[in-house]
């Protein structure tokens, strides 16, 4: 049975709980920053199998009018059983168009076998060769408990957002080359005494690496 991080589908209680989690102190949004309309829209999409992992992130630096949120997904999918189903965290983009229609886009799904994926950091950085551009960066931390090793896995994903929220057409694309150095990291200890260190376990390390690869002119 997949465990759940948040025990209720209420956004108010989930966001309040998030403020006490030290692992989320680097995230860029808090409950007080989220408009009531956005909270209500996200809340309407939650249920016992899709629970909010706070906080909700203002994505204005890369897409004005859009917000990012994450849900622990414990729903059953074809071909999976309770014993084979991975721990799953879904990444959503939500926004309202010029006709006041709300759009909710599932733009990525983080699946892990060793533990529950957790949002370690969400931020924005320059990550290509276009002057003054910004990308969305999501750092996922997953506790690992295996027979031969344990620790924390770190995966950093860099996304480019294009289109416009007002027109109801926003596209989120993974920047594979920019993301590559940050995916598959492990801060782990092994049964045989070996240790492995993650090079980019936080926002500062990823920012610095991106700045070296994509210097702003």
* Length of the chain counted residue by residue: 217
Please tell me the number of Cα atoms within 13 Å of 3 on its side-chain side: 9
Please give the pLDDT value at position 33: 85
Burial group, residue 12, by CB count within 10 angstroms (0-12, 13-18, 19+)? exposed
Please give the pLDDT value at position 77: 75
Please give the pLDDT value at position 19: 35
Count of other CB atoms within 10 angstroms of residue 141? 22
Q: Are 154 and 139 in contact (CB under 8 A)?
A: yes
Domain edges within the chain:
11-213
Which has the closest alpha carbon to 112: 91, 86, 90? 86
Please give the pLDDT value at position 73: 95
Calpha distance 6→57 (Å, rounded): 17
Calpha distance 112→159 (Å, rounded): 20
| Buried b or exposed e, range 146-162, using 16+ CB within 10 angstroms | eeebbbbbbbbbbbbbe
Q: Are 4 and 72 in contact (CB under 8 A)?
A: yes
Please give the pLDDT value at position 32: 52
Please give the pLDDT value at position 147: 85
Calpha distance 154→120 (Å, rounded): 9
Task: Per-residue pLDDT tens, the chain, 217 aa: give them.
Answer: 232 333 223 344 344 334 333 334 334 444 458 999 999 999 999 999 999 999 999 999 999 999 999 999 999 877 776 766 789 999 999 999 999 999 999 999 999 887 899 999 999 999 999 999 999 999 999 999 888 999 999 999 999 999 999 999 999 999 999 999 999 999 999 999 999 999 999 999 999 999 999 999 7
Calpha distance 102→107 (Å, rounded): 16
């Amino acid at each position: 049975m997949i465990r759940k991080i948040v025990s209720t589908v209420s956004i108010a209680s989930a966001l309040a709980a998030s403020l006490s989690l030290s692992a989320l102190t680097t995230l860029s949004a808090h409950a007080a920053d989220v408009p009531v309309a956005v909270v209500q829209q996200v809340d309407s999409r939650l249920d016992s199998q899709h629970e909010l992992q706070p906080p909700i992130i203002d994505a204005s630096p890369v897409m004005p009018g859009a917000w990012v949120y994450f849900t622990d997904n414990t729903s059953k999918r074809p071909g999976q059983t309770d014993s084979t189903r991975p721990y799953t965290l879904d990444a959503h983009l939500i926004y309202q168009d010029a006709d006041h229609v709300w759009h909710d886009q599932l733009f990525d799904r983080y699946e892990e076998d060793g533990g529950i994926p957790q949002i370690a950091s969400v931020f924005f950085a320059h990550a290509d060769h276009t002057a003054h551009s910004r990308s969305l960066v999501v750092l996922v931390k997953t506790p690992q408990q295996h027979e031969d090793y344990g620790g924390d896995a770190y995966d950093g994903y860099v996304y480019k957002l294009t289109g416009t929220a007002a027109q109801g057409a926003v596209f989120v694309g993974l920047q594979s080359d920019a993301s590559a150095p940050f995916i598959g990291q492990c801060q782990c200890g092994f049964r045989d005494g070996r240790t492995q260190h993650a090079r980019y376990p936080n926002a500062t390390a990823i920012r610095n690496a991106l700045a070296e690869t994509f210097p702003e002119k």
